[in-house]
A and B are shown apart, each in its own frame.
Chain A
Amino acid sequence: MKQINKKMIALVGGVVLVIGLVLMAYVLRDKLALSRGPVIDMHHAMDKDNIVPILIIGSGPSGLSAAIYSVSANIRTVVLQGPLPGGLLTQTSIVENWPGNKSIMGPEIIKNLQDHAVGLSHHYLKNSKDEIDKIEILEDTATHIDASQWPFKVQTANGHTLNALSIIIATGASPKLLQAPGEFEYWKKGVTSCATCDAPFFKDKNVVVAGGGDSAAEQAIQLARHAKNITILVRKEQMRASAIMQSRLKEYPSIKVLYQVQVQEVVGNGEHVTGIKLLSDKNNEIIILPIDGVFLAIGHSPNSKIVKDILAVDAEGYIKVEGRTQATSVNGIFASGDVVDHRYRQASTAAGYGVSAALDAIQFLTLNGFNTTISAKLEKNMFRGQLPRDEKELFVIKSEEDFNQNVIQHEGLVVVDCFMEQCYFCKVMDPIFHEAARYFENRVLFVTLDIDAAPAMAKKLFITSAPTFLVYHNGKLVGRYNGAMNKSEFGLFIEKFLHESP
């Protein structure tokens, strides 16, 4: 009996202890959250190169608004545009609810934001001794983020490895698609996913809303204030939307619900949507509805794939942020826009949150000792994706004479970049080639050959694709490479020849 009592006491004690620990963790969770992420010590940045004080991933309204604020704080900022430069807004047409502009095209908003950020940067550059722009907007995509160390290591598709002191994730979200023919063709020509933005354009028209959840019901109600007839297309026998939403729908005589239908095709006349082809599961009949608009309400998915292993995300993949700030679960990484916000999803709210994220990032850098002195010390370590201002242009070979003088008669190593103006990979290689030219200055001569300007020369050198890199040593061809390389590969490629023929 006594033994059991002892065990009981031990057990109760254990239980109390566990509950205590759980409570403590709960109470301290904000403080614990703050200490998440790697140790931040400005000294760790001093011996790194390719430093980016504020790295913004994504170039929609959120990312660009953040950039405007970080540039105006005089902090060097790099924006990685990602696979869709300008984001979803570039795919919209007229926007009437961007505060401050009566009616503006989506792409124009993006252009204005971009011009604003670049303009601010130029303004600072003119008035300072700094060598490099405060902002750089790169046609590049982040492929991997290593948040286990600080500075954060970020890999890009073009082969850059960046050391970011702070990161703002503004990768946005993508609407889920029906995957039906015609949907892509008529995207924003009648097919859209945002009733809040586009409902007024369907005044007195007939539209369908595809989806059976709350968001479909909400979109239908929003449309009911403008459109003539709204048909909700539901794939199952009943709607997934909440009961109250369903009962609300009944109050709108202009809203009708079609159950057990699958969208087969979005039909149009080449310019805009004119109808939708449906397959009824009940009797396998094909129904064609003549309509002017298709609103997709089958959900959005946040573009959080790149961070979902390092940041706390919710069940749907939206990045979790602390309270009303834009701070993520890793100290020094912030997030804004549609990748966080599943509630409002407006261009203007995304921009507003972008401003907040930039202010958070600036405060983070300031608190951790990134000041003007450090910034000046790190200047030479900063990442430069483009040419510095007063970069010497590399010699361009345009004739056989040029080639003989600069390549054949040159003593030592020469690397020739044979490029074409129109070629994408040539543009990718251009900054890498220039950087290599800086790095191997006085050891290797770097020249370029414009294939378009000197076709005979190109033919003579057997160049069949661009870019091609030719390596000459004392006038003799010693190496040849077709295609793109990343920076380190290119460096190794040249090191090899330096090693073989010193």
Chain B
Amino acid sequence: MTHAQNISILRHILVIALIFFDFEGYARDAVAGNVITKNLKNIAITNHKDITTATKEFQTEFKFCDINKALGLYNIVPMLIIGSGPAGLAASLYGVGGNVRTVVVHGPLPGGLLTQTTEVENWPGHALIMGEDIIEKLQNQIQGLADKYLKKQTMNLGIVDFLFDTITHIDVSSWPFKVSTDQGLTLNALSIVIATGSSHKKLHVVGENLPGVTYCAKCDAPFYKDKEVVIVGGGDSAAEDAMQLARHAQQVTILVRKNKLKASALMQMRLHEYANIKIMYNVEVQEVLGDVHEGVKAIKLIDHVENNSFVVSTDGVFVAIGHIPNSDLVKDFVKTDEHGNIELKGRSQTVVMKDEFAHVQGVFAAGDIADKLYKQAYSAGGYGVGAGIDAISFLTNIGFNPKMAHILEKNMFKV
């Protein structure tokens, strides 16, 4: 075989590799960028098909979400937002801003986990704000924007509604999605934003509801300047919390149930560098002691090796035994990781559906339910904005325009 032939074969391999990588790049683009338009552009440009063919292909791709299927249905909700924490509210802000009728379903904890914190020092733009106030401000803003639009148009139902209700079931096998609520409503949702958040894993001991028992070192560490605190947990997040707290607190004690930490070796090594972090092994929390007014005073522990129980005084108890994403409602049709976090396509807020529902479009997620990395109220708000924009863009792409909104007006869900 000649040299030239060899080169030619090598070149072919290179081309195959390039296609391989480029395909990966293209696929990433397609999920991260504007899926529809980019897909279509590629179909139209790379395959040299004329515009009508491309449009037809697009229509087949979106046959599932044919807007005509909505005609004749009742209780239609163009943008259904499940959850009213910062993510859900930020998404609805953009739904309203896009002049699309939006319904927010509060769920079991209106306002979400943020309402359970006290002072928040890291909501950018506010030196100090109560968690509840953030939620209230967001709601007022949305309502205010909706009222402003309502005044200027002939539509006789509001743009936004907040329901004190909980979603019990979502059927994504057909479109519009059939959604049932606890109070017996059946809604036909054109798009859904899942913003159900997560719950802290609890200790399940007496006294865990006392003030001073908290779940967020990032938020509350500065309040424990020069104080003594304990952290319950042995994983990376407990270690990370301990280091966060060590910058503020005088003494930090990690309480580990087993005889070693679950945290990564690197994290453990780091822990040793902090003179004010102490680790207690083989201990389990039996009770948190204190009173409702002055908060936590001590914690009662049981030592599994010595088989005795004893009391350690402390100013704060940080529980870092993990979070549970509230994904029970959607885990039948949405891809989740082993912890229950919803998977998203690329950097968009579009949900990755399970294989059997791969053709389903119009489901988005934001906030703690789909954020295993940061879990901050503010990030949730940012991702909510993204989900709102994605949902609006989806509605535009399936042909939900002002004319269609007008046709469907009498079919819309009314409170």
- Of the listed residues B1, B13, B225, B382, the one surrounded by the most CB atoms of chain A closer than 10 A to its CB is B382
A65 to B122, CA, bound (A): 9
A102 partner, pick from B1, B55, B97, B140, beta carbons under 8 A: B140
Judge if B108 is at the interface, Cβ distance under 8 Å.
no
Judge if B204 is at the interface, Cβ distance under 8 Å.
no
Q: State whether B13 touches A369 (Cβ < 8 A).
A: no
Q: State whether A224 touches B402 (Cβ < 8 A).
A: yes
Q: State whether A120 touches B127 (Cβ < 8 A).
A: yes
The residues in A between 33 and 84 inclusive whose CB is less than 8 angstroms from any CB of B are: 61, 64-65, 68-69, 72-74
B98 partner, pick from A72, A225, A367, beta carbons under 8 A: A225
Shortest beta-carbon distance from B2 to chain A in Å = 10
Q: State whether B127 touches A119 (Cβ < 8 A).
A: yes
Judge if B374 is at the interface, Cβ distance under 8 Å.
yes
CB-defined contacts of B63 to chain A, threshold 8 Å = none
CB-defined contacts of A72 to chain B, threshold 8 Å = 121-122, 222
Known: A65-B124, A248-B399, A371-B270. A343 touches B244 (CB 8 A): no
Q: State whether A196 touches B144 (Cβ < 8 A).
A: no
Q: State whether B379 touches A343 (Cβ < 8 A).
A: no
CB-defined contacts of A218 to chain B, threshold 8 Å = 393, 396
Shortest beta-carbon distance from A43 to chain B in Å = 14
CB-defined contacts of A354 to chain B, threshold 8 Å = 124
Known: A97-B97, A367-B266. A102 touches B222 (CB 8 A): no
Shortest beta-carbon distance from B11 to chain A in Å = 12
In chain A, what residue has the closest Cβ to B243?
A: A366
Q: State whether B344 touches A371 (Cβ < 8 A).
A: no
CB-defined contacts of A252 to chain B, threshold 8 Å = 401-403
Q: State whether B54 touches A243 (Cβ < 8 A).
A: yes
Q: State whether A97 touches B124 (Cβ < 8 A).
A: no
A19 to B93, CA, bound (A): 50
Known: A343-B348, A367-B266, A373-B275. A100 touches B243 (CB 8 A): no
Judge if B246 is at the interface, Cβ distance under 8 Å.
yes
A356 partner, pick from B10, B246, B373, beta carbons under 8 A: B373
CB-defined contacts of A200 to chain B, threshold 8 Å = 97, 149
Known: A100-B134, A200-B97. A242 touches B122 (CB 8 A): no
CB-defined contacts of A225 to chain B, threshold 8 Å = 98-99, 402
A444 to B243, CA, bound (A): 44
CB-defined contacts of A342 to chain B, threshold 8 Å = 33
Judge if A325 is at the interface, Cβ distance under 8 Å.
yes
CB-defined contacts of B330 to chain A, threshold 8 Å = none
In chain A, what residue has the closest Cβ to B1?
A: A7
Which stretch, A110-118, A303-311, A421-429, A457-465, touches the partner chain B?
A110-118
Give the interface SS of chain B, mostly helix, strand, loop or mixed: helix
CB-defined contacts of B222 to chain A, threshold 8 Å = 72, 123
In chain A, what residue has the closest Cβ to B124?
A: A65
Known: A102-B141, A113-B125, A116-B126. A4 touches B1 (CB 8 A): yes
A204 to B149, CA, bound (A): 12
B36 partner, pick from A18, A100, A224, A244, beta carbons under 8 A: A244
Q: State whether A349 touches B32 (Cβ < 8 A).
A: no
CB-defined contacts of B144 to chain A, threshold 8 Å = 102
The residues in B between 219 and 275 inclusive whose CB is less than 8 angstroms from any CB of A are: 222, 225, 240, 243-244, 246-248, 266-267, 270, 273-275
Judge if B175 is at the interface, Cβ distance under 8 Å.
no
Q: State whether B246 touches A353 (Cβ < 8 A).
A: no
CB-defined contacts of A248 to chain B, threshold 8 Å = 396-397, 399, 401
CB-defined contacts of B48 to chain A, threshold 8 Å = none
A-B interface contact total, Cβ < 8 Å: 211
A93 to B364, CA, bound (A): 31
A351 to B122, CA, bound (A): 12
A69 partner, pick from B122, B273, B347, beta carbons under 8 A: B122
A99 to B225, CA, bound (A): 31
Q: State whether A242 touches B40 (Cβ < 8 A).
A: yes
Judge if A149 is at the interface, Cβ distance under 8 Å.
no
Shortest beta-carbon distance from B382 to chain A in Å = 2
Q: State whether B20 touches A348 (Cβ < 8 A).
A: no
Judge if A324 is at the interface, Cβ distance under 8 Å.
yes
Known: A73-B247, A351-B124. A97 touches B379 (CB 8 A): no
Known: A127-B225, A244-B54, A352-B381. A344 touches B389 (CB 8 A): yes
Q: State whether B403 touches A251 (Cβ < 8 A).
A: yes
Judge if A415 is at the interface, Cβ distance under 8 Å.
no
Known: A18-B13, A97-B93, A119-B127. A367 touches B141 (CB 8 A): no
Known: A112-B126, A244-B36. A26 touches B21 (CB 8 A): yes
A417 to B20, CA, bound (A): 64
Known: A19-B13, A116-B127, A243-B40. A251 touches B378 (CB 8 A): no
A367 partner, pick from B225, B270, B397, beta carbons under 8 A: B270
CB-defined contacts of A19 to chain B, threshold 8 Å = 13, 16-17
Q: State whether B402 touches A99 (Cβ < 8 A).
A: no
CB-defined contacts of A349 to chain B, threshold 8 Å = 382-383, 385-386
Q: State whether A343 touches B386 (Cβ < 8 A).
A: yes
Q: State whether A196 touches B97 (Cβ < 8 A).
A: yes
Judge if B145 is at the interface, Cβ distance under 8 Å.
yes
Known: A68-B124, A243-B44, A344-B385. A373 touches B93 (CB 8 A): no
A204 to B152, CA, bound (A): 10
The residues in B between 122 and 153 inclusive whose CB is less than 8 angstroms from any CB of A are: 122-127, 134, 137-138, 140-141, 144-145, 149, 152
CB-defined contacts of B396 to chain A, threshold 8 Å = 218, 221, 248
B141 partner, pick from A99, A116, A373, beta carbons under 8 A: A99
Contact with A along B355-392 (1 / 0, CB 8 A): 00000000000000001011010111111111001000
The residues in B between 1 and 56 inclusive whose CB is less than 8 angstroms from any CB of A are: 1, 6, 9-10, 13, 16-17, 20-21, 24, 32-34, 36-37, 40-41, 44, 51-52, 54-55
CB-defined contacts of A222 to chain B, threshold 8 Å = 98
A residues adjacent to B (C-beta < 8 A): 4, 7-8, 11, 15, 18-19, 22, 26, 61, 64-65, 68-69, 72-74, 96-97, 99-102, 109, 112-113, 115-116, 119-120, 123, 127, 196, 200, 203-204, 214, 218, 221-222, 224-226, 241-248, 251-252, 321, 324-325, 341-344, 346, 348-356, 359, 363, 366-367, 369, 371-374
Could you list 23 A-B pairs, sorted by A, with CB under 8 Å? A4-B1, A8-B1, A61-B124, A72-B121, A73-B247, A97-B93, A99-B384, A101-B125, A102-B145, A112-B125, A116-B124, A116-B127, A196-B389, A200-B97, A221-B401, A241-B37, A243-B51, A252-B401, A344-B385, A348-B381, A349-B383, A351-B124, A366-B240
Given contacts A96-B141, A221-B401, A346-B385, 12 further A-B contacts (CB under 8 A): A97-B385, A99-B93, A100-B138, A101-B137, A115-B127, A120-B127, A196-B94, A242-B54, A243-B55, A324-B347, A348-B385, A351-B124
